[in-house]
Structure 1
Amino acid sequence: MSSSLNGAEVTAAVTSVFAEADVVGCLHARDIDSGREVAFGADVPVIVASIRKIPIALAYACQAAVGLLDRTARHTITAVNREGGGIGMDSCLHDVTMSTRDLAFFMLSMSDNAATDKLMEILGTDHVRALVAELGCPRMPVGRYRDLWDPVWEELGIDADGDIDAQLEAVSEARLRGLAMLDPARSASSTPREITSLLTAIWRDEAGPAEACAEVRDLMSRQLSTHRLMAGFDNEVNVAAKNGALWGVLNEAGVVEYPDGGRYAVAVFLRTPALSGRNPAADAAIGRAARAAVDHLRHTPPLGAAPDLTETTCL
């Protein structure tokens, strides 16, 4: 990847990355300290999937920082919190007890849905919803797993208390693609620009108490996934991020920090032709597109402004 891309070159580079991976992509990258930006469909509504867990972690950290919540308090994940088929405690066969802090750790490090549900139970949906609205993400999906997924099962005619995987096998791809949950116009959503604004506020200690912002930054740096955003950057670059996936949706948002102090918030959202299964080309495209955008920001003159490279169209 060129280290001195101009505006036209970064447009071409990102367009090529998305085309080679056969995906539709939206991207926003922001220099946290100067405000310069690169934008591809930055204000297009997108399905955020598990990126919604970032503000949940922030809500937890803010309450802990002001003494309203005990990080060391013990909580038990039971069958009520588990849906099965997921990652971490979501697929445990027996009850698990851990601290409030470790629930947030499991939620961000491995995208544990059971941990997320337990934190939502502790924090309260109204509190988290108010926080995301205050931080400029008013349509961000907020709620426990069942709050978000029960409407999907109802739309598909699936018994939520039965074998969901077996029932899904009988659902056509066309019906899945037509789900309201996958349509930002009909469901909770955000935009790439809103997500990088949220990340910028966290990294500038403006999203809550400095202690809370620092804790979220630390938790995001512990994500186990390294094959999307992180894969686009060299080893000396620190990447703190959260990814997400749904049927035909792959995304990741985070902050990349260079040894020279440069800090860049990046959010990449993709729609893929296949609804499920591994997609190494799309995974890699997230890192490659992010790298092109960050390279551009790092070599834009400080007094210049990186152009908004598209208005409403994902490339």
Structure 2
Amino acid sequence: MTGESLIGNHTTGTAADGGEGAAGEVARVFAEAGVVGHLHARDLADDRQVALAADEQVVIASIVKVLLVLEFARQVVAGVLDPTERVVVRAEDRLGGWGVAGCADDVELSLRDLAYFAMSVSDNTAADVLLRRVGPDVLPLLATELGLERTRVVGGPRQLLETMLADVGARDGAEFARVFPGLDAERVRAMRVFDPEHTTSSTAREVTRLMALVWRDEAGPPSACGLVRELMRHQVFFTRLASGFPPGVEVAAKTGTLPGLHMEAGVVTYPDGGRYAVAVFAATRGLAARRIDVDLAIGRAARVAVDALRAAARD
């Protein structure tokens, strides 16, 4: 695992005491969990940062839904989309996973409820339907507008699923479900969804930049950024970033998961007003999608980084 460390001002690049210690402690957390990790954390007050392998390209999976919902919110504020517009999600729309994909019947809901499900339970079907209304070609343009030069968006949830089916030679989701468990790790990791050069990807540093832009109302109109922040506060998963922080500390975040890849990005807000954008990516040797030990390591690594930033601010 390669890495870098810095606690200092991103503009000047000057480091404060403790930077190497924080990155080293983060690296130890990852090593104890048996994962290859990438982390970036930034203090939104002064842009001090803690980084470990933060400029390496990584798969971001469902974290891209933050960009999707941001674009949705911007179009709502601009009057392009009506958030109360009703859509029907039918059987052929379902992609599997959480949310409306588990419904037995057609579901009618509003665009803003699609955004809610996409963010709160990472509903792939809701995100895919919403992407059709937002425009599938808009997200790469938004990333460019926001200065996210290392962020690449390759289609939406349906395109990623179709890529996975093609890579294993499956005709549909049912056949994929039968074939996938029998694949060895080498075959799985050769799939395009695991290659940052062939799927939606970014860097930990750019992901925290996106979070900072949203929290500073610099990613669009304040009301649009506010909607994204509110929806991120409704995420139901709490075993990753949130697990590292005590009660009273707010964590608004978005997860991303693929077999062997566990990630989360968000903003941690303390009662004293301190705000810290954090992005953590962990890759395991095995391919299990559920690893509570890895989730908890993500929380511990985030806490180490944020504690270092808070200590640096007090010095």
User: TM (normalized to structure 2)?
Assistant: 0.90
1:269 aligns to what?
A: 281
**1:148 deviation in Å?**
1.7
Alpha-carbon separation, structure 2, partners of 1:270 and 1:161? 26
- The list of structure 1 runs, each at least 4 consecutive aligned residues, that deviate by more than 4 angstroms after superposition, is none
Map 1:37-76 → 2, pairs under 5 A? 37-76=49-88
Q: Supply the AA of the counterpart residue of 1:170.
A: G
Contact 1:27 1:39 in 2 (8 A): yes
**1:91 deviation in Å?**
2.1
| Higher relative contact order (CA closer than 8 Å, sequence separation 6+) | 1
Residue 178 (structure 2) pairs with residue 190 (structure 1)? no
1:312 aligns to what?
A: none
1:209 aligns to what?
A: 221
Secondary structure class of the residue paired with 1:299: helix
Alpha-carbon separation, structure 2, partners of 1:55 and 1:277? 23
Map 1:10-49 → 2, pairs under 5 A? 10-49=22-61
User: TM (normalized to structure 1)?
Assistant: 0.90
**1:267-313 superposed Cα distances (whole Å, 9 cap, x missing partner):** 000101111243121101111000000011111147x8xxxxxxxxx
Residue 105 (structure 2) pairs with residue 94 (structure 1)? yes
Alpha-carbon RMSD = 1.6
Map 1:1-315 → 2, pairs under 5 A? 6-84=18-96, 86-138=97-149, 139-160=151-172, 162-301=174-313
Alpha-carbon separation, structure 2, partners of 1:119 and 1:93? 20
**1:45-100 superposed Cα distances (whole Å, 9 cap, x missing partner):** 0010110100000001111112111111111111232023x111122221101111
Secondary structure class of the residue paired with 1:269: strand
**1:162 deviation in Å?**
4.6
Contact 1:27 1:192 in 2 (8 A): yes
Alpha-carbon separation, structure 2, partners of 1:133 and 1:56? 14
Q: Supply the AA of the counterpart residue of 1:213.
A: C
**1:180 deviation in Å?**
2.2
Alpha-carbon separation, structure 1, partners of 2:182 and 2:21? 46
**1:185 deviation in Å?**
3.2
Where does the alignment leave 5 or more consecutive residues of structure 2 unmatched? Answer: 1-16
Secondary structure class of the residue paired with 1:265: strand
Where does the alignment leave 5 or more consecutive residues of structure 1 unmatched? Answer: 305-315
